[in-house]
Amino acid sequence: MQEYIKIRDKNIPIVVRNYKTSKHLKMYFKADVLYVSKPRYVSMKKALEFIKQNEKFVYEKYTDLSENKNFKTKSWINGDVFSYLGEKYVVKADICNENKININLDQSNKMIKLSYPISIAENEEIRKCYIDRGIKQILKNNTRYILQSKVPYWSKITSIPYKEFKVNDATSKFGSCIPSKKVLHFSSRLIMLPEDKIDAIVVHELCHIIHPNHSKKFYNLVKEYIPNYDEINKWLKENGKIIIF
C-alpha cells in the first residue's frame, strides 16, 4: 500500500527502502514519488524526520513535478511516448502467449514494442515493475555503448585524462565526477537525450577533473569545447524530466 507524508498542504507519496550497504540517509524523486534510502539500522521515525528537515526542498520539488503532467510515470500502454536520443518513440503493447515480457526498441519505426503475458496484463503495478526493469537494462547497455566512444573522444579533444567511467540509474543528476580518482559517473538515462546534450554532459564531467567546482574557470573551460553550453544547460533544466519513467 502506498504511504504518504504530509508536507504543508501536500500529501506526498513516499517509498522508504533499506539497504545494508547504505551509510547515510538519501532521498530523491522519481516522477512525483519521493524515495528514501536508509541503512537498515536507521528507524522509520528517523527517516521521516530526515524528510521534515528538508521540507522546503521536498515541497518545492514535489509541487513542480506534480503540476507538470507531461512527466508522470509511464504506464507502458499503447500510445505512451518515450524519448530515445531525443526523439519521440511510441509504445505499442500487446498480450502474448509466452510467460515472459518482450521489449523491442524499433529504431526504424521509432517505436517501443512490448508484449507480456495475460497474467500481468491487468495488474498495472506488477506490469510496470517488470517493464521498468527491462527498459532500465536496455538504457544502461545502450548508454554504456555510446559512452565507450564519446568519453575517450572528448578526453582526447580536451586533453583531460580519466581513469574510468561508470553507468548507474541516477535520475536526479546526469553525471558526477570524483576528481581525485579521475572517475566519471553517468546516468543510464543519457541515451534518452539528444546527442549534443550527451556530449555536453561528458565534457562537463571531464572538466571537473581540472576544476572540481562550478567556478567561472570551470565554465570557461567547458565552453572552450561546447560554445553553446549555456543554451544546452538551459534545455536540460527545462526538459531534463524526460528521463523519468
Distances in Å between the alpha carbon of 104 and those of 31, 56, 69, 79, 91? 24, 41, 26, 15, 10
Q: How confident is the model at residue 33 (pLDDT cuts 50, 70, 90)?
A: confident
Q: Is the pLDDT of residue 122 over 80?
A: no
Rounded to two decimals, the pTM is 0.73
Distance CA 170, CA 227 (A): 27
Q: Is the pLDDT of residue 73 over 70?
A: no
Residue 83: other Cβ atoms inside 10 A = 17
Which CATH number does 141-243 carry? 3.30.2010.10
Q: Which amino acid is at 142?
A: N
Question: What pLDDT, in 10s, does the model give residues 80-97?
Answer: 999 999 999 999 999 988
User: Could you tell me the end-to-end alpha-carbon distance of the chain, in angstroms, rounded to an integer?
Assistant: 20
Distance CA 226, CA 200 (A): 6
Q: What is the pLDDT of residue 118?
A: 87
Question: What pLDDT, in 10s, does the model give residues 185-232?
Answer: 999 999 999 999 999 999 999 999 999 999 999 999 999 999 999 999
User: What is the grid cell recorded at 126?
Assistant: 506488477
Distances in Å between the alpha carbon of 95 and those of 103, 125, 127, 209? 12, 16, 11, 49
Q: What is the pLDDT of residue 88?
A: 94
Average pLDDT score over residue span 129-155: 96
What rounded mean pLDDT belongs to the chain? 91
Location of each CATH 3.30.2010.10 domain in the chain = 141-243
Distance CA 78, CA 90 (A): 8
